[in-house]
Structure 1
Amino acid sequence: MGGQAAYDVVRERYEDVRSDLEAMNGWLFENPETGYEEHRACGLLADFLAGHGFEVTPKAYGLETAFRATIGSGRLKVALCAEYDALPVVGHACGHNLIATTALGAAHALAPLVGELDVTLTLYGTPGEENRGGKAEMLAAGAFKDDDLALMVHPAPVDVLDPGFLAMAHLDVGFGGVASHAAMAPDKGVNALDAMVNAYVAVSLLRQQIPDDARIHGVITEGGESANVIPAATRSEWYVRARRSSTLVGLLERVEQCFLGAAQATGCTSSVESAAPAYDDLVTDPVLSSYFRDAAARHGRTMRPAHLGEVHGSSDMGNVSKVVPTIHPLLALGEGVPNHDPRFAELTITDDGHRLLRDGAMMMAETIVDAALARYRSADD
Structure 2
Amino acid sequence: MKQKITDTIESLSDSFFEISQYIGQNPELGNEEEKACKALTDKLSNHGFTVKTGIVNQPTAFEAVYDSGKPGANVGFMCEYDALPELGHACGHNLIGTQGIAAAIGLANVIHETGGKVYVYGTPAEETKGAKVTMADEGCFDHLDVALMAHPSSNYVKSGASLAMDAIAFSFYGKSAHAAAAPEQGINALDAVIQTFNSINALRQHVTPDVRIHGVIPEGGQAANIVPDYAVAHFYVRSTSRLTTDAITEKVSLCAKGAALATGAQLEVSNYEYSYDEMITNIPLSDTFTEQLLELGIEPDEIYDHEGGTGSLDMGNVSHRCPAIHPYIQISNQPISAHTHEFREAALSKDGFDGMIIGAKALAMTGYEIAANPSLRKKVAVAFQSRHQ
- Normalising by structure 2, we get a TM-score of 0.90
Alignment match, 1:337: 336
- Residue in structure 1 matching 2:99, options 97, 102, 109: 102
AA aligned opposite 1:212: P
Does the C-alpha gap of structure 1 residues 239 and 135 become closer, same or farther in structure 2, counting only changes over 3 Å? same
How far, CA to CA, are the matches of 2:206 and 2:106 in structure 1?
A: 49
1:303 — aligned with what?
Answer: 303
Q: Which amino acid aligns with 2:323?
A: P
Q: Which residue of 2 aligns with 1:3?
A: none
The answer (yes or no) to whether the contact 1:213–1:311 under 8 Å persists in 2 is: no
1:228-274 CA distance string (max 9 Å, x none): 32221122322111101121121111211221122222221111112
Distance 1:205 1:351, change over 3 A: farther
Q: Which residue of 2 aligns with 1:85?
A: 82
Residues 86-144 of structure 1 show CA distances to partners (whole Å, capped at 9, x for unaligned) of 22233222222211111011012122111112120000001122221311211222311
The equivalent position to 1:321 in structure 2, one of 319, 329, 334, is: 319
- In structure 1, runs of 5+ residues without a counterpart are 1-5
SS for the counterpart of 1:175 is strand
Q: How does 1:90-239 map to 2 (within 5 A)?
A: 90-239=87-236
Matched, 1:24 2:43: no
Task: Report SS of the residue matched to 1:278.
Answer: coil
1:204-283 matched pairs, under 5 angstroms:
204-283=201-280
1:135-168 CA-to-partner distances (Å, cap 9, x unmatched) read 1211222311211111011113432212221111
Instruction: Give the conservation status (yes or no) of the 8 Å contact 1:163–1:312.
Output: no
Q: Distance in 2 between matches of 1:211 and 1:89?
A: 35
Q: Is the 8 A contact 1:163 1:330 kept in 2?
A: no
The residue identity in structure 2 corresponding to 1:46 is T
Alpha carbons 1:61, 1:142 under 8 Å: kept: no
2:43 maps to a residue whose letter is: F
Which SS does the other structure have where 1:262 is aligned? helix
- Report if aligned partners of 2:157, 2:329 keep a CA contact under 8 Å in 1: yes
1:317 partner letter: M
Q: CA-to-partner distance for each residue in 1:53-109, whole Å, 9 max, x for gaps? A: 110001012222110001024421011110112222332222222111110110121
Note the alpha carbon deviations across 1:327-378, whole angstroms, 9 max, x for none.
1112234333222223212211123311221111011001111222222788
How far apart in 1 are the matches of 2:188 and 2:23? 43
Aligned partner of residue 348 in structure 1, secondary structure: helix
Counterparts of 1:84 and 1:311, CA distance in 2: 22
Q: 2: distance between equivalents of 1:343 and 1:180?
A: 48
Moved more, 100-109 or 83-92: 83-92
AA of the residue aligned to 1:24? I
Gaps of 5+ in 2: 379-389
Relative distance call for 1:187 and 1:30 in structure 2 (3 A) is farther
Q: 1:377 to 1:58 in 2, by over 3 A?
A: closer
Between the aligned partners of 2:16 and 2:228, the Cα distance in structure 1 is 50
Instruction: Label 1:29 to 1:226 Cα distance change in 2 as closer, same or farther (>3 A).
Output: farther
* Distance in 1, Cα, partners of 2:24 & 2:35: 12
Distance 1:234 1:41 in 2: 37
Runs of 4+ in 1 over 6 A off after TM superposition: 376-379
Aligned amino acid, residue 226 of structure 1? A
| Contact 1:176/1:192, CA 8 A, preserved across alignment | yes
Paired AA for residue 319 in structure 2: S
Q: Once superposed, what is the RMSD of the aligned Cα atoms?
A: 2.0
Task: Indicate the percent of aligned positions where both proteins have the same amino acid.
Answer: 36
How has the CA–CA distance of structure 1 residues 154 and 192 changed in structure 2, closer, same or farther, with 3 Å as cutoff? same
Distance 1:124 1:31 in 2: 21
TM-score of the two chains, using structure 1 as the length reference: 0.92
Aligned counterparts of 2:48 and 2:77: Cα–Cα separation in 1: 16
Separation (CA, whole Å) in 1 of partners of 2:338 and 2:280: 21
In the alignment of these two chains, the number of paired residues is 372
In structure 2, the CA distance between the partners of 1:32 and 1:198, relative to structure 1 (3 Å rule), is farther
Q: Give SS of 2:27's match.
A: coil
**2 CA distance for matches of 1:312 and 1:378?**
30
Within 2, Cα distance between the matches of 1:34 and 1:150?
Answer: 24
